[in-house]
Chain A
Amino acid sequence: MITLTIITDWLMKYMSADAAFYTELVIVAAIYLAVFAIFGLFLVWMERRVAGFFQLRLGPNRVGPMGLLQTIADALKLVTKELTGTKKADSYLYRLAPYFVIVTALMSMAVLPFSAELQAFDINIGLFFIASVSSVGVIGIFLAGWASNNKYSLIGGMRTGIQMISYELSVGMVIVTMATLAGSLRMSEIVELQKDGWFIFSGHISAIIAFALFMIAGTAESNRTPFDLVEAESELGAGFHTEYSGMNFAYYFLAEFINMFIISAVAVVIFFGGWLSPFGITDSIPYMGVFWFMLKTLFIIFLMMWFRWTFPRLRIDQLLTLEWKYLIPINMVNIVLMALLVWLGLTF
């Protein structure tokens, strides 16, 4: 169900319907891979500049205009580095681990609605698909921690496992809340339903609480401060990816930023109207939705970066206390509240 009909029509001229379908799949996958890489590089540059302005200094501003080519220089360095590994590491698992995080990130990106016409995989359980696929990414981190044969990595991997499994629950519950309001799990339909008003306004109290909970749980899902004791550089070296270098490390690094992008994109879709423009000013122009979608996603990513550079980090037991004793009860109450609002027709 690919909605890039232009490419389909063009290919049908040269090959049979089946071959055209499979070629189209490969082309779309290649485009997404390219977008993944370029967007990851752009996000790294943005993180460094934003961090610079928070910390009263300039970020990188010499390589290329405004420093935009800095990440390409870093990527070149990472690609040419030697791939080290410890001697007694379980080499099969050690090399397999990064691919889990990359593949799950790419799969999640496939269901995001960039605009009314651009969506690679529009299934009717879109939101649920994202939640389930991101759970598989945890395995990659577990494997990395175990297979490195390093005490620091093991501690880091164990901590991450607990953290990500716990916060998946919160993310899932917020998705249930907003699905109650929308009445559907299909991503494109959720965006279409917000044409009369974004969900964060129409669901008033309940949606605002859900947004706050989603930001906290989403920051924890992508292992960023204040929940980044996985990579707590002040404590344990570099956590689960201590023993990775070069391209392997680049995979984890990119995957963290793409995870951040996916969480922000999901937040934009279920709270802020996806690719719709405010007050519907440019809704009739085709492909304009991409611009609005990107703008809103970048704003939410900026919010996550703001968290990172302001707050200290939580200890592992405080993190779990926060999840199990505060977030989950509030989440449950919120689901009931949202159900009541929808049933009594009190939404705007």
Chain B
Amino acid sequence: MENKEFLADRIRTMEYHLNMGPQHPATHGVMRMILTLDGEEIKDVEPVLGYIHRSIEKMCERDTYKQIIHLTDRLDYLSAHMNGEAVALLVEKALGIEVSDRIRVIRTMIAELTRIASHLLWWGVMGMDTGALTTFMYAFRDREMINDIFEETCGARLTMNYNVIGGVRYDLHENFQKRVKEFIKHMKKKLPEFDRLLSDNVIFRKRTEGVGYISKEDAIAHGLNGPTGRGSGFSCDIRKIHPYSAYDMVEFDEILLNGGDSFSRYKVRILEMWESLRILEQLVDKIPEGEYRMKTKAVIKLPVGEHLQRVETARGDFGVYVISDGGKTPYRLKFRSPGFANLHGLNAMTKGEKIADLVVNFSTIDVVVPDIDR
């Protein structure tokens, strides 16, 4: 027996560094991760950011408040509308502008459609990362319907720039209600099909259940938010905590699951898509009449001081923080990006697991790198 221990001590293994570099098919954007590996086991993950930094916050110091909104589309481009909504709500609250009910309902409906589009793309990419390559095309087929709705009303498919200070840019197109109703009916048939293709698949379950576990206390300590945090039982939905726009006019549940592993985070997003459909159903027939754009002054100046607005994007808790000195442009503007906090949970989730698990965990965090680097 003594000889056995000797032999194991004499074989020396070494930890090595592997670079999942900026150009990589699995990282959703330009991000670099330095992995420290021992054989196939991961000892440490260190993300290196900054490859897509475009100094948006600095550009916002030069632009007037009306011009800031077109830059927010490019932060987290999958929830483009909700970013612009945050800035518009901040300015309206600071100036005391009361928007009509019609504006609030329009903003909420487009926000929920954006949320469904973002989660659909996430689902398609998650399937692709685990190896089921057809899910990508199925998700994009459904996303096309949403893009058509956006193009008809707002003029563009992704970076819509539809919010303005005081309302929305154009009134709803006359086909909007019909298209949204068709879309709801279509999605209600397709979501169970997605479950049959991916969620119930025994291979997928084995890949995601028990992988990337993070407890509720750790989740709060790392600052995970959005669906990533709700998968560990941390109640952090801004739509419930600080309601804005039309979220106090509708009934919907906050999805909280206690599993803490990748499958829980996956399931939270699928159930959130059902909740978004429920919100859309409640609002589509009851769009109130009214103005779609309130009158504002030509030159907008915020009162001196600090202002904050938080919204719930598809990734989590997005915040806009403005320090104003009374002038036409902000003195300092900061975007609090949800992905930045979520990414820090990656190291805690992946200690001691394999490279394939890293890809799955990274997929369930749903990171969009321009959101982190701004």
Contact = CB atoms under 8 A, between A and B. Distances in A.
A and B touch in the complex (CB under 8 A): yes
Interface in B160-213: 197-198, 201, 203-204, 206-207
Contacts of B203: 226, 311-314
Given A54-B134, A225-B131, A234-B26, A312 B204 contact: yes
Interface in B94-135: 127-134
B206 A314 contact: yes
B354 A55 contact: no
Interface in A137-175: 151-152, 155
A228 interface: yes
Contact of A315 (B197, B201, B356): B356
Nearest to B129: A234
Contacts of B26: 234-235
B141 interface: yes
B206 A55 contact: no
A313 to B, nearest CB: 3
Given A151-B18, A229-B356, A316 B40 contact: yes
Contact of B355 (A57, A226, A235): A235
Contacts of B201: 311-312
A56 interface: yes
Interface string A215-226: 000000000011
B40 A311 contact: no
A234 B27 CA distance: 9
Contacts of A44: none
Contacts of A232: 131, 356
Nearest to B131: A313
Q: How large is the interface on B (under 10, 10 to 19, 20 to 34, 35 or more residues)?
A: 20 to 34
B290 interface: no
B354 A56 contact: no
Interface string B5-39: 00000000000101000001110000000000000
Contacts of A314: 203, 206-207
A235 B359 contact: yes
B190 to A, nearest CB: 12
Contacts of A315: 206-207, 354, 356-357
B131 A309 contact: no
Contacts of B136: 55
Interface in A210-267: 225-226, 228-229, 232-237
A234 B25 contact: yes
A14 B239 CA distance: 90
Contacts of B129: 234
A55 B197 contact: no
Interface string A288-303: 0000000000000000
A310 interface: yes
B354 A316 contact: yes
B137 interface: yes
Contact of B131 (A57, A152, A311): A311
Contacts of B131: 225-226, 228, 232, 234, 311-313
Contacts of A284: none
Contacts of A229: 356
Contacts of B321: none
A228 B18 CA distance: 21
B331 interface: no
A152 B18 CA distance: 9
Nearest to A158: B40
25 contacts: A51-B133, A55-B138, A56-B138, A56-B141, A57-B137, A226-B203, A228-B131, A229-B356, A232-B131, A234-B26, A234-B129, A234-B130, A235-B26, A235-B359, A236-B355, A308-B133, A312-B201, A312-B203, A312-B204, A313-B131, A314-B203, A314-B207, A315-B207, A315-B356, A317-B354
Given A56-B141, A315-B356, A316-B354, 5 more contacts: A51-B133, A152-B18, A309-B133, A312-B201, A312-B204
7 tightest Cβ-Cβ pairs between the two chains A and B? A313-B131, A312-B130, A55-B137, A312-B131, A312-B132, A315-B356, A234-B26
